[in-house]
Amino acid sequence: MPALHGLTQAEAGHHTDITTPRDVALHVRPISPADRERLAAAFEALSERSRQRRFLAPKPRLSSAELTYLTDVDHRTHEALVAVEPASGRIVGVARYATVSGAQDTADVAIVVADELQRHGIGTRLLRDLCERAVENGIEHLVATTLHENRAARVLLRRIGFRTRSVSGGTLELALDLAPADALSPGAG
């Protein structure tokens, strides 16, 4: 298989082709350090509102250190999946988890989708795939924090099974307990 948009052959080989419910064809794959410039471009293309919803505060730019953190992940304690347009290589969605310090079985979740492709099923697909990766990596609990006004995020998280754990000021914390990998395998139980 030839490399996709600057990724190594191994990185390119771990993608899944999907078509969203609104007929948007995408590759879903783990992020890599080769995605640094694509991720920066995806961030720049987001509206101020989408950036604020993703980072829970105004976020005009990503620093070099943040880009490194967001793209150079170990795919075990810190995972990120990207939805990529096949023809252009443009990142149009990212879902990630990172384990909580001192609790390797618990991870924070964040997700963002390009403004023009929100409500196309991309976030749902990314989050489901991310939950599968979390289970494979021994993560037992996921936690997501969102602004209360972000109804779309609340709906998405609840659709996947997250439940409100706490409310503080203008934010909600939602949590999801994951089934162990052996409980998900056929014949288990």
More confident residue, 139 or 22: 139
Q: Could you name the CATH architecture of 11-183?
A: 3-Layer(aba) Sandwich (3.40)
pLDDT digits (tens, 9 = 90+) for 126-173: 999 999 999 999 999 999 999 999 999 999 999 999 999 989 888 999
- Give the pLDDT of residue 20: 77
pLDDT digits (tens, 9 = 90+) for 74-105: 999 999 999 999 989 999 999 999 999 888 89
Predicted model pTM:
0.85
- Give the pLDDT of residue 103: 84
pLDDT over threshold 50, residue 5: no
Instruction: Say how far apart CA 122 and CA 118 lie, in whole Å.
Output: 7
Instruction: Say how far apart CA 77 and CA 80 lie, in whole Å.
Output: 10
